[in-house]
Structure 1
Amino acid sequence: MRRKKFVAGALGACALVMGVAPAASGYVGEQLPDTARQPAGAAYRGGDAASATLKDAKGNEVGSAWFTTDSRAHAVWVEVYLTGHFPPGFHGMHVHEKGNCTVGDPTNPFTAAGGHLMPMDHHTGLPIGQLPPVQVRSNGRGYIKFVLDTFTLDQLFGPAGTAIIVHSKPDNFANIPADRYSVRGDPNAPVPDEKTTATGDAGSRFACGVITRDQN
């Protein structure tokens, strides 16, 4: 994963969100913002919409996600609201390549969703399923709203479908964690291993939701 490219894209997304929807970007209250209570797509009419209900490995509903095409900007708005049960802090978040949230092994749940969404014809840069991390407050709740142009809604509905997964830890975007650094400039310093490159060391899959297209 290439950190610089992702950070630049994320900052651009944040800037656009702050410019268009300051109330949502500044959300610190206990209740879900009015914009997120509206049906998916209500704020950005003219495009398709999709949504997902996030559940943890015990089957508890722990959040919701909305995906809305903004036909004016040729982009997709994404909103995620976590309703509780999450540890405070940042949590990695991705769209995965299969619409299957079967729990399977409860110690390693949701592996049926496969890896991060990365179409065969997308050969460079981050997987298109890479999303910004969501921050959870001390009460276990979190909310994030952003816009991106790395995928279209149609790409979420291939033969296998897709799912959104929230992980138990932050995503380091393939940077090596601080406790694995050696002396700076050391040619023998460790590089991101396969796990770091594939997952960003974001930990286990805490919650999963199959993405479904909303009916207009």
Structure 2
Amino acid sequence: MRVRNIVPALAAAALVVTACGAPGDSPGGADDPGGRDDVVGRENDEETEDTEPAPGTTTQPGTGSAEVVAVMDTDGREIGHVIFDEADEGVSVTVEFSGLEPGFMAMHIHENAVCDPQHADGPFQSTGGHYNPAGDEHPGHAGDLPPLLVTGEGTVHAMVVTDRFELQDVLDEGTAVILHQGRDNQANIPERYGEPDQDTLDTGDAGDRVACGVIEPDQE
């Protein structure tokens, strides 16, 4: 921000000096002790003061201590990571994945910090259900996040800010990131198709769990 403010001031000063011609031809030259050089110095001093962001600017993450969660598929291959960080309006969740099938995929925070691809009930069923301390229905769970759009090259880069939980909560309570094979319908079943069943209310019919990462503080 400081560099952004100073550069226009210097550019404006250079333009005025160029227009004035040779030194001594007009006020502001080298022979004028009260010329532009003195003005530029005063402008620089004034412009180096930090200013508050304008109302309505986008929340920027990075105000807290970030947690980087490595995410593995069922074969133990790391497909990328999720970064959790405190933001002005909640917690920022930044996603970087690669090697995925193109299309929409669901991502949630689940209640148990155990990523077991060999679990008897299916890959990563060890993580339990969605992180939901308030006991709400999907898509009102604290751990519900927007679906991810995987590019044709199999990559995802996305960021969202949520105020449904605090970073310390998901660290202390032991949780995990789960990536699902399919999209999440957010329990949105039009009335003409009937009432949503319990599976839809619990998971959004997102399909198999294909990748997992434990959310826990860095161990030093």
Distance 2:156 2:178 in 1: 14
Corresponding residue of 1:75: 90
Distance 1:209 1:59 in 2: 11
Corresponding residue of 1:137: 151
**Cα offset, 1:48, TM superposition:** 2.7
Q: Aligned to 2:211, which of 203, 207, 213?
A: 207
State the structure with bigger RCO (CA 8 A, min sep 6), 1 or 2: 1
1:3-50 CA-partner distances (Å, limit 9, x unpaired):
xxxxxxxxxxxxxxxx538xxxxxxxxxxxxxxxxxxxxx74441321
Distance 1:107 1:113 in 2: 11
Corresponding residue of 1:24: none
**Which one-letter code corresponds to 1:113 in the other structure?**
T
> Greater share of strand residues, 1 or 2?
1
Distance 1:50 1:194 in 2: 33
Q: Aligned to 1:57, which of 34, 59, 74?
A: 74
TM-score (norm 1): 0.68
Q: Aligned to 1:170, which of 183, 192, 216?
A: 183
Q: Aligned to 2:128, which of 97, 106, 114?
A: 114
Q: Percent of counterpart pairs with the same letter?
A: 38
Distance 1:59 1:134 in 2: 21
**Which one-letter code corresponds to 2:79 in the other structure?**
V
**Alpha-carbon distance change, 46 to 215 in structure 1, aligned in 2, over 3 angstroms:** farther
The yes-or-no answer on 1:197 pairing with 2:176 is: no
Distance 2:125 2:206 in 1: 14
Secondary structure of residue in 2 paired with 1:64: strand
1:101-149 CA-partner distances (Å, limit 9, x unpaired):
0112488200001110011xx1446110000111101111111111111
After superposition, residues 171-186 of structure 1 pair within 5 angstroms as 171-176=184-189, 184=192
Distance 1:77 1:174 in 2: 24
Mapped contact 2:91–2:166 kept (Cα < 8 A): yes
Mapped contact 1:66–1:78 kept (Cα < 8 A): yes
Gaps (5+ residues) in structure 2? Answer: 1-56
Distance 2:135 2:127 in 1: 21
Distance 2:218 2:157 in 1: 21
**Which one-letter code corresponds to 1:67 in the other structure?**
F
Corresponding residue of 2:115: 101
**Alpha-carbon distance change, 20 to 169 in structure 1, aligned in 2, over 3 angstroms:** same
Mapped contact 2:119–2:126 kept (Cα < 8 A): no
Across the two proteins, how many residue pairs are aligned to each other?
163
**Which one-letter code corresponds to 1:163 in the other structure?**
A
Distance 1:214 1:105 in 2: 25
**Which one-letter code corresponds to 2:75 in the other structure?**
K
Distance 2:206 2:163 in 1: 23
